[in-house]
Amino acid sequence: MLTGTMPREHGIVGNGWYFRETAEIRFWQQHNGIIQGEKLYEGFETAKMFWWFNQSAPVRWSCTPKPHYGCDGSKAFDVLDFTDCDLTKHLGPFPFFAFWGPGSGIASSQWIAQATALVMRKQKPQLSMVYLPHLDYDYQKYPQHDPQRVAEVDACAGKVIDAAEDIGAQVVVVSEYGLVPVTKAVMINQHLRRAGMLSVRKGPFGEMLMPGESRAFAVADHQLAHIYVNDPTVVDEVRKLLESIDGIASVVEPGDLQLDHPRSGELIALSDADAWFAYYYWLDDSLAPDFARCVDIHRKPGYDPCELFMTSKPRAAWRLAQKKLGMRYKMDVIPLNPSLVRGSHGLHPADQDGPMILGPESPPNQMDGFKDYIRRLLT
């Protein structure tokens, strides 16, 4: 959408990938420089509100989540506000717990919509880009996709649309994917470990994945997984192993999906339509790393939708009380139960389940045409 190119050119091969030069798996990086190629908003006075890759983006105004991290491990939630609108002064603190985690809900989308409307009316950007996350949440948690969630986010969109009308802006609605029901998780890394391909280090905080020492491992990302194979002599063996696993529909070369970029794995695994990939690499939950039971999106070597669930509200309340009392605490309230997850995405979808563009003047059918479409509207 942003570059008009495929992953083989822009380099964003997933929500996270293996950084070979440092032997680290990193998810949810926000720096705009990671995207290779010209973005659609370059050359226009743009307000970029909560779209990803927002940090240091070449835009006039922006706002994005960014906590503060203390040397003692503490974390204070906040946003990077470069809108010249003092958003938290006018709207109160951004509801971080409603943005991701067990408390995810409409409050974060409401705040973002109000903030965007405020920025649009004050700054009158040529282009305003706003991400309303609400439909991500319950559609991953529950098998029945309640239309009420659409009505809730529609009310948020209405605030943005009203502001657009006030400044004479055209409105385009875009979705990057559609969530579909799933019934099973594929423990792809556990299979690789049992086959002697994946290495871990045992320690006082549980078992840690050692990607640099592994012959092969998977970076799980919804219904797609990058398979990084450090030992080129086992590529065929890894492919055959993965093809034999229940829940994996196919194992392909990155170029087959236009993912042939240096950041991609040597192989790409695609799940069955009703399955998804869990990142778990431990074989015994008592040996799981301590971060597995926390909302810890930057430390986990894969996407973890179990962060949308909670083991115990009283436990969470006790942990919050420890925090307020200034005690050391660990918010370990996330269940290790992938069967809870009931929605995912990542495969080539049926037309009604996939990305869509709603807007004036014949919007394109494919996302690689989105950049030129928006620029045509702007000029």
Tokens read off for 27: 């998810």
pLDDT in tens, 15-25: 999 999 999 99
pLDDT of 265 reads 98
Adjacent-strand bridge partners of 216: 229
pLDDT at 318 > cutoff 60: no
Q: How confident is the model at residue 103 (pLDDT cuts 50, 70, 90)?
A: very high
Span 310-320, average pLDDT:
67
User: Can you say how many angstroms the Cα of residue 112 is from the centroid of all Cα atoms in its chain?
Assistant: 17
- Quick one: what percent of the chain has pLDDT higher than 90? 85
3-state SS of the chain is CCCCCCHHHHCCCCCEEEECCCCEEEECCCEHHHCCCCCCCCCCCEEEECCCCCECCCCCEEEEECCEECCCCCEECCEEECCCCCHHHHHCCCCHHHCCCCCCCHHHHHHHHHHHHHHHHHHCCCEEEECCCCHHHHHHHCCCCCHHHHHHHHHHHHHHHHHHHHHCCCCCEEECCCCEECCEEECHHHHHHHCCCCCEECCCCCCEECHHHCCEEEEEECCEEEEEECCHHHHHHHHHHHHCCCCEEEEECHHHHCCCCCCCCCEEEEECCCEEECCCCCCCHHHCCHHHHCCCCCCCCECCHHHHCCCCHHHHHHHHHHHHCCCCCCCCCCCCCHHHCCEECCCCCCHHHCCEEECCCCCCCCHHHHHHHHHHHHC
Among candidate residues 131, 126, 145, 127, the one with its CA nearest the CA of residue 99: 131
CA atoms within 13 A on the CB side of 156: 24
Query: How is the chain split into domains, by residue range?
Result: 41-176+350-378, 184-344
For the residues 84-99, what does the mean pLDDT come to? 97
Mean pLDDT of 7-30: 97
Report, in angstroms and rounded to the nearest whole number, the Rg of the chain calculated over CA atoms: 21
Q: Sheet containing 216-221: give its strands across.
A: 216-221, 224-229, 267-271, 248-252
pLDDT at 312 over 80: no
Region 63-76: mean pLDDT is 87
pTM confidence score:
0.94
Q: Is the pLDDT of residue 331 over 90?
A: no
Bridge partner list, 49:
63, 130
Mean per-residue pLDDT for 215-221?
Answer: 98
Q: What is the pLDDT of residue 143?
A: 82
CATH architecture of 184-344: 2-Layer Sandwich (3.30)
Q: Is the pLDDT of residue 324 over 60?
A: yes
CA distance 103 to 118: 25
